[in-house]
Amino acid sequence: MEVTRSLPPDATSPLARVVSDSTPPEEHSGFRLLPLGVYSLDARLELARRAKHSLDVQYYVIQNDGAGRLLLRTLKEAAQRGVRVRLLVDDLYTAGTEQLLLALAATPNVEVRLFNPFCCAREQLTGRLLASAFDIVRLNHRMHNKLFVADGVMAIAGGRNIADEYFTLNSAANFIDMDAIVVGKVIAELSGIFDDYWNSEEVYPVAAIVKPRNSRAIMADDFDDWVGMSGPAPKLTLPPTDVLGYGPIGEELDAGRIGFLWGVANAVADPPYKLRSMTAEQALATSVTMRVWDQLLRAEREVLMTSPYLVPGERGMAAFEELRGRGVGLTLLTNSFAANDEPLVHSGYARYRVRLLKAGVDLYELSPARTTRNRRLGLFGSSLGRLHAKTAVIDRRKMFIGSVNLDPRSATQNTELGIMVDSPQLAREMLRIINITKLENAYRLQLVATTDTIEWLAMDDEKEIIFTEEPETGWLRRIYHRAIGVLVPEGLL
């Protein structure tokens, strides 16, 4: 497999000129938060359409749906303009997209690689897992990173995969999530991380793993039909502004200058060989998760965090209790049982709720019903609202954004990527989004006096509503959850 590296930035690239004209003297790295899903997809498409030299794209999931096909179409169009496209996808969920990926790889200027691929029975996930039962230790190691780098000068990083539900385009369920457009000195770190993965032993060319159903020529025609290349690209419906007051990024790209918030940033990622040549303890000790904990434990006044899957474990609980013991305010926002798309992970989190509340943690759980009614973070319609953002704000100065959940899988099994930024202005914007989510879209939890039982509080038309059972769930689901939850070891969550 050929080793390739990120192309050096070309100052004549239109994106490079925008970055140069948008960067004040002596600044380190610039950020534009993307809390609105449809804006986040639009930003990726705009960067891909304006790229002149290179696109380096890395995702855990790319679905064969509207968002996935639109992005793949845009990557092929870029390649046809002469842009070098490198696409790296984790192999866990490629059963529905592998033929699309194989056909895209047949396009000149495009190379597609798979991370830690399955060997056989590739038509569906269940078959892959059954056929690989004796190789499950290797295959339990997945690449959870999300990264999009255009012309080596502008990137998008954060929590979103490529599927309709991450961009509020799904009629059944959508995620509240967070990405950021990134420029400046940290881009070199992000490109280096991509190169490390792209050239790692865990990665294989898609053509070495996936067998074509037809000849390559027919596949190319099929790809064009699948993604609709014969007609105009679907138009995204974009609201005038997002919750922060920003408009679509294309308008600023057209104007030649983008408003960023600036700070000193560094990007971190787990090595692609995590667990291949490490023990679980070594993987944990060097993980992005532990680097996040290191920053949290340096807090002096307050920490606010969002994590869709929150299973702190004994080490995490000890860290939270240490923070509270030093008088550091701690606010955690995660999914309610009704919002969680991983019920077993919720059972792991539920084991710690009483202890968190006793420690004085302000604990919030996202409400699907309240999210549906609130349009400030996206138009959810009648779909189920869920939290997927992985963010933190420390002392109103430092901000973290990335792919890391506070659970055992992120710590010891998956590879993760994140960016820590020292910027009071950026931290203030992230705090605004977290506060909107917790106050308008979530339940606040509290302990009933003199007992270890929990109540869920919400405001409805300025009237406080109190729930004494997991809200928005039926009794049968709650009983099943309690019964099955005690049977699953925490390390498997």
| 419: phi then psi, degrees, rounded to nearest 5 | -130, 130
What is the separation, in whole angstroms, between the first and last Cα of the chain?
A: 34
User: Cα dihedral angle (78, 80, 81, 85), rounded to 10 degrees?
Assistant: 40
CB atoms within 10 A of CB 359: 17
For residue 135, indicate whether it is catalytic.
Answer: no
Strand partners, 65: none
Is the sign of the CA dihedral 480, 484, 485, 486 positive or negative? positive
- 451 CB contacts (<8 Å, ≥6 apart)? none
Kindly give the pairing relationship between strand 442-447 and strand 154-158. unpaired
Strand partners, 443: 365
Q: Give the C-alpha separation, 177 to 172, whole Å.
A: 16
Q: Which of 90, 91, 151, 270 is catalytic?
A: 151
| 249: phi then psi, degrees, rounded to nearest 5 | -65, -25
For residue 151, indicate whether it is catalytic.
Answer: yes
Given a contact cutoff of 8 angstroms between Cβ atoms, the answer to whether 229 and 73 are in contact is yes
DSSP 165: G
For residue 144, indicate whether it is catalytic.
Answer: yes
* SS3 at position 326: coil
Q: Give the C-alpha separation, 445 to 425, whole Å.
A: 29
Q: Which of 53, 76, 141, 144 is catalytic?
A: 144
Q: Which of 53, 76, 388, 398 is catalytic?
A: 388
| 293: phi then psi, degrees, rounded to nearest 5 | -60, -40
Q: Which of 76, 141, 146, 438 is catalytic?
A: 146
| Residues labelled as active-site residues | 144, 146, 151, 388, 390, 395
